[in-house]
Structure 1
């Protein structure tokens, strides 16, 4: 090999090494399990193990590559599973939570693939369930899509850069997953000092809702339901408006309002949820929470009180002790905590002790 060829070869190797050093791949995850007592679940009390109550049990891969000029290629693959059984949360779907690729730039991030609903991206962080670290504190049926149990397939999502505390974004999803029609929506947030606030709106055509499992309804908006027949909507629209405010160094307050409009072929209804909560941090390792949620659909009402103690054994390991009590009222209404489904009475009490480890 001549001198010029040798120098060119060395230059190619050095450029390749520099290029390799500008990319990264991260394997990460969380495992969560505990014991839950439910006073009344479809007619009787139960006690047993429960996975993903304090935090979703999941693992994932994240990667990025510096493209230069402040552009970055990125991807994420995220899979949810039940640690007590080892089974996937969604059968036959390995990366059920997210699977996307995209570009981040000075003008914002654009991603394509299976992605979380904007209600889960934005509105969730103002909810009682988020701060209480308690899956049972999410609203009945997850109709407002606050948990990552409802993903948008074939989706394009955009998130702007930070503009003096403001961010905006939107997404469009083609038909797939739990909807045979398209999904579209947008959000705006403001984060500055002790205040965080946001508004989110999503609309989905032809979304299916399991009103039988989560509420015990055998008919809904003119459709007959069963364990094998879900409700087929014409359209489901979600609005979320929320905020958090750090009143003092140890005390944080949160508030959230969500409205879900459900349209059937010949009738429609809506569900309103209102959260308000407090988190008080005794030490950097320990916090207590107290929350109240009011939910209403037509003449049915649900009042829910949640309390918890969150203690971090380390940066990666946390123990949660939570209590959730729900009282329903209305013509035939029963308690219906998520994701347990309906009680045979108007009340449900849940006690949970769990541990979450992150890696």
Structure 2
């Protein structure tokens, strides 16, 4: 064989080896398509003074689809990424204020040290407390605390964030999140920070969390401009229970939750303290100062058969000048591991004066406000996971 032929053969062998190595690496990557379709028929006793029958998607959680990517890097390390979209099953419209991947979109690394994730992600309040809530267990969106004032139902995600999830040590796991506001010359504007600690032992689960968000009007509520004292403010929050506090300079949530399972039953309890700090009085927010919501959630579920579960719970929120109590009931029938039928009932009663200075009215999350202090909702739906 001539020297030139030998050199050519070496090039071919190098290219072939590179191709095999690349194929080996790519073979260790995995992309998972997943999603949920959730739709229901709902009745409400009073929305703006009228009873209503309507199609209502996302009863137990919004319809969504996403991609989960994982690449094995060896030695227990992996690269991870997720893109998750939320949409309305009845209209096909995007949720999350029109964002294509408004629920989650992040990339990061995972290994023996834990996980570090960068991008738009769920708040640690939802990560830490959702597991013990009436909402997750059986009530869905209607079980959220006063229109999700504490974000346990994850009404908003946090953009520009770095999240760290530790490994589990003797049942304990710690998490931390920091989100950059992205305002040039003002590092604190729009800043978000939270920490949580969970403990799990056999059938017992518990967690605590602290979260603080600067300038929530623009950083999570998608207002176009910061509120200015005495000025006009295009308020994006229409919920009378706390729309008057949307011009707060800071939003803080502290919460704790626990859940215990035994003999097919599950009992959950949680508490949150939500503070709208340094509320600025504007044309659309008549309140000034600090407003607080203290919320309690006590619930229980029971698995009657391997395919039938029932649940009941009561939530009570003590707002600055109003009180909101809500009874939640639910039942689920599993047609398969992926598909279930569900029934949810919720009744809310409000007293006092709401954040806008008017008589408080009932408003189950996902419905328009009642014209009175009471509101009843009933829904039957189907949910399929893939």
Question: Alpha carbons of 1:91 and 1:145: their partners in 2 closer, same or farther (altered >3 Å)?
Answer: closer
Shift, 1:298, TM fit: 2.1
Question: Alpha carbons of 1:180 and 1:286: their partners in 2 closer, same or farther (altered >3 Å)?
Answer: farther
Question: Alpha carbons of 1:236 and 1:74: their partners in 2 closer, same or farther (altered >3 Å)?
Answer: same
Give unmatched runs, 5+ long, in structure 2.
222-234, 281-287, 354-358
Alignment match, 2:272: 258
TM-score by length of 2: 0.86
Query: Which among 113, 122, 132 is matched to residue 128 of structure 2?
Result: 122
Shift, 1:348, TM fit: 0.6
2:146–2:324 contact (8 Å) kept in structure 1: no
Would you say 1:238 and 2:267 are equivalent positions?
no
Shift, 1:344, TM fit: 0.8
Q: Provide, for residues 268-306 of structure 1, a one-character-per-residue CA deviation record: whole Å limited to 9, x for no partner.
A: 110011001111001221100011111110231111111
Tell me how far apart the structure 2 counterparts of residues 86 and 17 of structure 1 sit (CA, whole Å). Answer: 38
Alignment match, 1:166: 172
Tell me how far apart the structure 2 counterparts of residues 17 and 31 of structure 1 sit (CA, whole Å). Answer: 35
Question: Alpha carbons of 1:110 and 1:217: their partners in 2 closer, same or farther (altered >3 Å)?
Answer: closer
What secondary structure does 1:171 align onto? strand
Shift, 1:211, TM fit: 8.3
Shift, 1:12, TM fit: 2.2
Question: Alpha carbons of 1:238 and 1:128: their partners in 2 closer, same or farther (altered >3 Å)?
Answer: same
Would you say 1:290 and 2:312 are equivalent positions?
yes
Alignment match, 1:60: 66
Q: Answer with 14-23 or 310-319: which moved more.
A: 14-23
2:295–2:317 contact (8 Å) kept in structure 1: yes
Tell me how far apart the structure 2 counterparts of residues 215 and 286 of structure 1 sit (CA, whole Å). Answer: 37
Alignment match, 1:202: 211
Q: Highest Rg: 1 or 2? A: 2
TM-score by length of 1: 0.92
What secondary structure does 1:122 align onto? helix
Would you say 1:90 and 2:96 are equivalent positions?
yes
Q: CA RMSD in A?
A: 2.0
1:235–1:262 contact (8 Å) kept in structure 2: yes
Question: How many equivalent pairs are there?
Answer: 347
1:128–1:291 contact (8 Å) kept in structure 2: yes
Which structure has greater strand proportion?
1
Tell me how far apart the structure 2 counterparts of residues 45 and 8 of structure 1 sit (CA, whole Å). Answer: 74
Question: Alpha carbons of 1:297 and 1:211: their partners in 2 closer, same or farther (altered >3 Å)?
Answer: farther
Shift, 1:337, TM fit: 1.2
2:96–2:103 contact (8 Å) kept in structure 1: no
Question: Alpha carbons of 1:276 and 1:92: their partners in 2 closer, same or farther (altered >3 Å)?
Answer: closer
